[in-house]
C-alpha cells in the first residue's frame, strides 16, 4: 500500500488528518458572500478550483459552477489528469504563490451539496442488516426474501430530499397504525431512525436501452460519500406492503460534503464475502470490489456530548456499488451524471456493529443508555446523529468529513 504523500501544507501530513494529499476529495464551498464553487479539501484548507482554473493551472471543467456535475461528466481521463495536477501542485517542495492564494481556511467556509443529484436509488445490500430486519418481522427462517442472494434489491428514492451534512431535519409526519387499532392515524413519526450507508456518485452516464458490465459500472463511479437515509419506521411498517418504502424514506437523506474519489480508495479494495448462491454472470464479481472503510454512528442529545453507538466497516456489504449500478442499468435504465446510489444499511454480524437504531434496540425492545445518562430507543427532537468514516493507510487516513443532522420538531399544517 502506498504511504503518505507529503504536502507543503503541514496539516495534511498529520496521521489523523482526514484530508492528506493521498485523498483530495471534491466538494462545493463558499467564502463569505461569494458564490459557491468547486474545491478540494487538503489538510485544514480548501483549495479553490475555480481560482486555479482562472489562473490556467487546471483545465476548464466548470469548476466555477456550484456543482461538481460538469467535472464528473468529463470522464475518467479528466478525473485522473486533474488529480495528477493537484498532487504535483500540492506536493512538498512545490509551493507557489498562485496556489497559496487559492487556499481558504476550511473552518471559515460554508460547505454546500457537492453535486446536483439527478436521481437517488437506495439499495438493501448489507446482508447482516437484511437478516436482522427480516428476523424481526418474519422470523430467522424467512429473514431474507427469496431473491436477496441473487440480486441487489433497491427502490427509487427522492433526489429532492438529499441534503448536505449539517442541515437540520424536521421530524416527518405520516400515517401509522397500531396493531390493535381499527383505523390508522396521522401525526409525527414516533420511531425515527437512521441508516448508516455508503453512497456511490455516478460520474459517467449510460445510454438508455444498453446494459453495462460490472467493470464498466465500476469505471462510471466518480466517488463516494457517507449517507444517512433517515427512516420513519412506524410509517414504513404500515405503508411498505406490497410496493415497498415510500413516505417513510422520502423526507430526508443526508450526505457528507466531500466526494472521496475511487482513485483515493483504490488501495483499500477488498474481496466480497463468500457467495452462498452463485451470482448470474452479469453481476458476478470480477475482482475485489468492496472497500475497507471503518464506519461509526454517534448520537448527541441537546446539551450532551456525543455517544458512539456503533462501529462497523463497509466491507460487511454483500454487493458492491459496481454490482448495484450494473444491476440498475441491466434493464436498459439510463444512468445519469449525478445519480446517487445508497448501499443500504451497513451492519456487522454482532452487537455493537449495527447501522440502525432498529437493530441496536431490536425494534425498541432494548433501550440504549447514552454516556450522558439519557435513554433512547429511537431519535427524539433535539438529537444530533452523525456518521463518520475513514480508511486507514500507511501513516495516513482517507476521510469523508462528518455526515450529521439535528432533528427538529415536526412542522404542522398551515
Contacts of 246 (CB under 8 A, 6+ apart): 239, 240
Q: What are the cell numbers at 257? A: 460534503
Q: Read off the pLDDT band of 189 (50, 70, 90).
A: very high
pLDDT, tens digit, 9 for 90 and up, residues 357-380: 999 999 999 999 999 999 999 999
Contacts of 281 (CB under 8 A, 6+ apart): none
pLDDT, tens digit, 9 for 90 and up, residues 214-236: 999 999 999 999 999 999 999 99
Which CATH superfamily is 120-408 part of? Answer: Fumarylacetoacetase-like, C-terminal domain (3.90.850.10)
φ/ψ (deg, to 5) at 351: -60, 140
CATH 3.90.850.10 in the chain, residues?
120-408
- Give the mean pLDDT of the chain: 96
Q: Are 200 and 220 in contact (CB under 8 A)?
A: no
pLDDT, tens digit, 9 for 90 and up, residues 296-306: 999 999 999 99
User: Which residues carry out catalysis?
Assistant: 129
Q: Read off the pLDDT band of 1 (50, 70, 90).
A: low
Which of 265-269, 273-277, 344-348 is predicted with the least confidence, judged by mean pLDDT?
Answer: 273-277
Q: Read off the pLDDT band of 242 (50, 70, 90).
A: confident
CATH 2.30.30.230 in the chain, residues?
10-112
Q: Is the dihedral of CA 132, 133, 137, 141 positive or negative?
A: negative
Q: Is the dihedral of CA 135, 138, 143, 148 positive or negative?
A: negative
Query: Does the global pTM surpass 0.95?
Result: yes
pLDDT, tens digit, 9 for 90 and up, residues 47-77: 999 999 999 999 999 999 999 999 999 999 9
CATH of the structural domain 10-112, one choice from 2.30.30.230, 3.30.750.24, 2.40.50.100, 2.50.20.10: 2.30.30.230
Average pLDDT for residues 182-192, to the nearest whole number? 97
Amino acid at each position: 500500500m502506498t504511504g503518505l504523500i507529503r504536502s507543503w501544507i503541514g496539516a495534511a501530513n498529520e496521521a489523523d488528518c482526514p484530508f492528506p494529499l493521498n485523498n483530495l476529495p471534491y466538494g462545493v464551498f463558499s467564502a463569505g458572500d461569494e458564490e459557491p464553487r468547486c474545491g478540494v479539501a487538503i489538510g485544514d484548507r480548501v483549495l479553490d478550483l475555480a481560482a486555479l482554473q482562472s489562473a490556467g493551472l487546471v483545465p476548464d471543467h466548470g469548476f466555477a459552477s456550484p456543482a461538481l456535475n460538469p467535472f464528473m461528466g468529463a470522464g475518467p481521463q479528466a478525473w485522473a489528469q486533474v488529480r495528477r495536477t493537484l498532487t504535483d501542485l500540492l506536493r512538498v517542495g512545490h509551493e507557489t504563490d498562485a496556489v497559496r492564494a487559492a487556499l481558504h481556511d476550511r473552518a471559515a467556509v460554508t460547505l454546500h451539496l457537492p453535486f446536483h443529484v439527478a436521481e437517488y436509488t437506495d439499495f438493501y445490500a448489507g446482508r447482516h442488516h437484511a437478516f436482522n430486519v427480516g428476523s424481526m418481522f418474519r422470523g430467522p427462517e424467512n429473514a431474507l426474501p427469496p431473491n436477496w442472494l441473487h440480486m441487489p434489491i433497491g427502490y427509487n428514492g427522492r433526489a429532492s430530499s438529499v441534503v448536505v451534512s449539517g442541515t437540520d431535519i424536521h421530524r416527518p409526519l405520516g400515517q401509522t397504525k397500531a396493531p390493535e387499532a381499527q383505523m390508522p392515524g396521522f401525526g409525527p413519526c414516533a420511531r425515527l431512525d437512521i441508516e448508516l450507508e455508503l453512497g456511490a456518485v455516478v460520474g459517467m452516464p449510460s445510454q438508455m436501452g444498453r446494459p453495462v458490465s460490472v467493470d464498466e459500472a465500476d469505471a462510471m463511479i466518480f466517488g463516494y460519500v457517507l449517507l444517512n437515509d433517515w427512516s420513519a419506521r412506524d410509517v414504513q411498517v404500515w405503508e411498505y406492503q406490497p410496493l415497498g418504502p415510500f413516505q417513510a424514506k422520502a423526507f430526508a437523506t443526508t450526505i457528507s460534503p466531500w466526494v472521496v474519489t475511487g482513485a483515493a480508495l483504490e488501495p483499500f479494495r477488498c474481496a466480497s464475502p463468500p457467495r452462498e448462491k452463485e451470482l448470474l454472470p452479469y453481476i458476478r464479481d470480477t475482482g475485489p470490489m468492496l472497500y475497507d472503510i471503518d464506519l461509526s454512528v454517534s448520537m448527541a442529545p441537546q446539551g450532551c456530548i456525543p455517544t458512539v453507538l456503533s462501529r462497523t466497516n463497509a466491507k460487511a456489504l454483500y454487493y458492491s456499488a459496481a454490482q448495484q449500478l450494473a444491476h440498475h442499468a441491466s434493464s436498459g435504465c439510463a444512468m445519469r451524471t449525478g445519480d446517487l446510489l445508497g448501499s443500504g444499511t451497513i451492519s456487522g454480524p454482532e452487537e455493537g456493529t449495527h447501522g440502525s437504531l432498529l437493530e441496536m434496540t431490536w425494534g425498541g425492545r432494548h433501550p440504549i443508555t447514552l454516556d450522558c445518562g439519557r435513554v433512547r430507543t429511537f431519535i427524539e427532537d433535539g438529537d444530533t446523529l452523525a456518521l463518520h468514516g475513514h480508511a486507514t493507510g500507511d501513516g495516513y487516513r482517507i476521510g469523508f468529513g462528518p455526515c450529521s443532522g439535528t432533528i427538529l420538531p415536526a412542522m404542522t399544517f398551515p
